[in-house]
Amino acid sequence: MKKISLTKYTDFIVDETTKLLNIDSPTGYTEEAALWVKEEFEKLGFDATITNKGGVIVDLTGKDKENGLLLEAHTDTLGGMVATIKDNGRLQLTNLGGMNPNNAETENVRVVTKFDGIYEGTFQLNNASIHVNGEYNDTKRTWENCEVVLDEDVKSKEDTEKLGISVGDIVCFEPNVRVTKTGYIKSRFLDDKLSVGILLGLAKYIKEKKITPKRALYAHITVFEEVGHGGCGNVPEGCTEAISVDMGCVGDGLTCTEKQVSICAKDSGGPYSYPVVQGLVAAARESGADYAIDIYPHYGSDVEATLCAGSDLKHGLIGAGVYASHGYERSHRDGAENVLRLLIQYALA
């Protein structure tokens, strides 16, 4: 079987993903990213709306309105929130989602105040000078033992409060996006902005190839996945199936690489619908997509939240392989292309 060339669309996916990665959107602070996503789908000629919850619903057209397929991805990311302004003027944080202080240490951040603009700083271990701190190597990295050092001349709690910084302000971590000559995509928050880019690539393919899917096809770009309730609502009428397009896990004991599309058979929430898993594997084979089937030991998805909210749906999960999840993540353009190839076969053929 001769595989169709998708290079043009993969280039588009990488470009769109890079743009989205550079828009801060930790859970609870996603309005700018959601608006950007809405506008990008509209540029491709599709109707898109912002939900009350802040996500984006996109109608990708389709004929059978009683057997619709919903594709879910999320644009909210990990991040932080100001928990305490310390006496020295520095900030103690609480995490948004699964942000881990072990791999967040030394990262540049932006503190988004409610009314007084944005301030820069760095997330550091308390007493971070190794030539001074004799306990540096032995100190456990926790939210209590780390702090944001503001790039402002502040020496007290009162100094910081005068800037307009207060408890509850959002702290965005620098993504550090890089695409290598060899096709690797490195950044924080590929989970799950790479999948949003892939769905934009699918939309571009549908429009340029003038395809009307046999089934009604929708995308829901959610904004609270990282805290567990992103996919809890907004299922379009007539949908009978939902597939979460999220990151595929790469690590010890699993078979997927960053260059493949991962098909998840089971995660922490239990097994995915067996007929859907079968259909996804068949579509991967038929399309020539390089794929792996894995069980994710520590994982939950939007589509499970959709089912837990009471939706009567078959469900599945796929994604480009991503290494170092919830840290400085790495995937590859081939992985994104293989997800797109599978989706074209599964959702459009």
Kindly give, in sequence order, each residue whose CB lies less than 8 Å from that of residue 63, ignoring residues fewer than 6 positions away: 212, 213, 214, 215, 216
Quick one: tokens of 239?
Answer: 């949908």
- H/E segment holding residue 279: helix 274-287
Kindly give, in sequence order, each residue whose CB lies less than 8 Å from that of residue 294, ignoring residues fewer than 6 positions away: 248, 249, 254, 255, 256, 262, 263, 264, 265
What is the DSSP code (8-state) at residue 225?
G
147 beta partners: 124
Quick one: tokens of 62?
Answer: 């389709």
Distance CA 248, CA 256 (A): 8
Quick one: tokens of 31?
Answer: 């309005």
Q: Which residues are catalytic?
A: 225
What is the DSSP code (8-state) at residue 117?
-
330: three-class secondary structure by DSSP: strand
Kindly give, in sequence order, each residue whose CB lies less than 8 Å from that of residue 176, ignoring residues fewer than 6 positions away: 186, 187, 188, 328
168: three-class secondary structure by DSSP: coil
Length of the chain: 349
Contact 217, 62 (CB under 8 A): yes
What is the DSSP code (8-state) at residue 38?
H
Contact 110, 120 (CB under 8 A): yes
